[in-house]
Amino acid sequence: MKYTRNHKKICYICHVPQINDALHLQFVKASDRMNDYEFGDMVVPAAFGIYHNKNWLEQAQLSFKQTWLSLERFTVWLMMPPAPGHYSNLIDPVL
């Protein structure tokens, strides 16, 4: 997953936005916080789980007014600039 300057406050390790300390602690150097990521690799697998589950995919497509005809198109959408007021398209379906 690659982020652009359109994505603000996204953790490059776990992909969770730093909105408040309850959701994600303040960012520090990655080497200082690596042991804090007990569930660090859940957002991307959850997003791809949504894509591979027919019911969840249909619900997500309705919710985001999208049609993903391939995994590649879904992946591209995940990294596109998010809607105003949102942090990333990757976290939105998971939330």
Q: Is 77's pLDDT higher than 80?
A: yes
Query: How much is the pTM?
Result: 0.77
Question: Where do the domains of the chain lie?
Answer: 1-95
Q: Is 83's pLDDT higher than 60?
A: yes
Task: Provide mean pLDDT across the span 67-93.
Answer: 91
CA dihedral angle for residue 8, residue 12, residue 13, residue 17, rounded to 10 degrees: 10
Q: What letter does residue 8 receive in the DSSP assignment? A: -
**CA of 58: how far to CAs of 27, 45, 62, 82, 94, in Å?**
34, 18, 6, 20, 14
The lowest-confidence range among 13-17, 37-41, 51-55, 71-75 is 37-41
User: How does pLDDT run across 36-61, given as a tens digit for each residue?
Assistant: 665 567 888 999 999 999 999 999 99
Integer Cα distance of 44 and 27 in angstroms: 19
Question: If you compute the radius of gyration of the chain from its CA atoms, what whole number of angstroms results?
Answer: 14
**pLDDT in the model for residue 8:** 75
Bridge partner residues of 18 (DSSP): none
Q: What letter does residue 5 receive in the DSSP assignment? A: T
